[in-house]
Amino acid sequence: MLTTAEILKKVKELEIKSKKITQHLFTGEYHSAFKGRGMSFREVREYAAGDDIRFIDWNVSARLSHPFTKIFEEERELTVMLLIDVSASSFFGTVYARKKDIVTEIAAVLAFSAVSNNDKVGVIFFSDKVEKYIPPKKSKQHALYIVRELLTSEPKQKGTNIAEAMRFLNNSAREKSITFVLSDFLDPEFADTLKVAGKRHDLIGIKVYDKMDMQLPDVGIIQVTDAETGKTKWLDTSDGVLRNNYEKEFFRHTDWCKNIFLRAGSDLLHVRTDDDYVKILQKFFIGRS
């Protein structure tokens, strides 16, 4: 367990890192990617050089024999929801950090990006049940509170039930939200619930995985334990067929995740624990701009 002083130090480190990323790398990208997706019509005015021709009101222009353009305004602030997988598998990591550490950093960056754009941000921590719910609010202090919870949350359960978290989201959110789901998605039964949530919210999955999730090292006979079920098994990692099948299963699961997010009309990002997640997020934000 971390001491209070260690927690405060880590919170400050994450705050500084997140703010630096938000200010220097995501300036404009976050706003362009999400703001303006909820637009309401305000008025029609004469077309001026530089106006977007896509918004020309052709009916009014034809009646008045002069080009007119529609003016829109952004609707009220957005709500960003972070669905954080805190199941036992999130504590696995062999290269740079544990999956939980990368999820914590990404979630902190997203939280500070939201509040710096005057949006609300909330969190649902889940294992095979909803462990904790932080209702969406604005302010720096709220973002710091979220970071503290990301660092100190201790799940009561070990399993993963993404569908339960999705149902909780749908029942608790009164309005559409930008929802990031951060998980390794080691759960075979959330496709239907994802599809329902994808119709109500702008869903983005962030699949965090470790190098050893993909490839077994050749280290002879080892005993492995499933962190979520507790089941143990002996494996001969010198067996090339075994290692090949292990890798094939990883890519099968990856393709399955891609397909169910695609069918839900949602995005899915892949982040390995030793990847530069900043570049991956930035590329995604720019792609949506």
Query: Which pLDDT score is estimated for 11?
Result: 86
pTM: 0.82
Res. 22 pLDDT band, cuts 50 70 90: confident
- What residue ranges define each of the domains in the chain, with the CATH number in brackets? 4-29+76-288 (3.40.50.410), 39-74 (no CATH)
Q: What is the pLDDT of residues 121-175, one digit of tens each?
A: 999 999 999 999 999 999 999 999 999 999 988 899 999 999 999 999 999 987 8
Is residue 56 within 8 A of residue 123, CB to CB? The reply is no
pLDDT band at 95 (very low <50, low <70, confident <90, very high): confident
Of 23 and 253, more confident: 253
Beta carbons of 220 and 236 less than 8 angstroms apart: yes
